[in-house]
Amino acid sequence: MKQPTSSDACSALDDRCIVEQVLAGDRQRYAVLVHRYHRPLLNLATNRLGNASVAEDAVQDTFVSAYRSLHTYKSEFSFRTWLWTILLNHCRRHASRLARLPRQIDARVLVHGEQTLVCNVDSQASPELAAMHSERHALLSTLLLELPEARADAIRLRFYGQLKYREIASVMNSS
């Protein structure tokens, strides 16, 4: 009978376990976290920043910062909450840089007055489904743009990040 190892004791899906393995020298395991969180982080960043390429930069910066600071992560807290906090900080930095640059609109962004609205449509979707998705996404983006930044970020964390209310409060540093 095989003796269980510490990695067997951890679920392969447990973020904390993966972080422990990365800190113990298995750097390749970090790719699991990148794969797990890339899409939801990118969705929030794209919606928040209104520019897909800048959003991708913010997400990449998030993963690099998280990796470099992994030793500061406290395992008694949720890894994903920690990661989302890093993303929001990078989004704020990128947004302030964007505000100083001439306005550039990419193909997935709709223009609504002075505001930009992100529209991510699956290229495999039927035209009807793509149209419905675009309309729904444009309406959501319009409504988010009308909210104060902190409230809009809280909603983005709930629906793009699937965070629980307790986690959102932690990320947003509020009750």
pLDDT values of the chain reduced to their tens digit, one per residue, 175 residues: 444 444 445 655 799 999 999 999 999 999 999 999 999 999 999 988 888 899 999 999 999 999 999 999 998 889 999 999 999 999 999 888 877 655 444 444 443 333 444 444 455 667 787 777 777 777 777 788 788 888 888 888 888 788 888 888 888 888 7
In DSSP terms, 111 is beta-bridged to 116
* CA dihedral sign of residues 18, 49, 106, 158: positive
Q: How far apart are CA 142 and CA 117, in angstroms?
A: 7
Q: What is the pLDDT of residue 36?
A: 94
Q: How far apart are CA 169 and CA 132, in angstroms?
A: 32
Phi, psi dihedral angles at 24 (to 5 degrees): -85, 0
Tokens of 125: 């979707």
Q: What is the pLDDT of residue 164?
A: 87
50: left (phi over 0), alpha (psi -120 to 50) or beta: left
Q: What is the pLDDT of residue 101?
A: 58
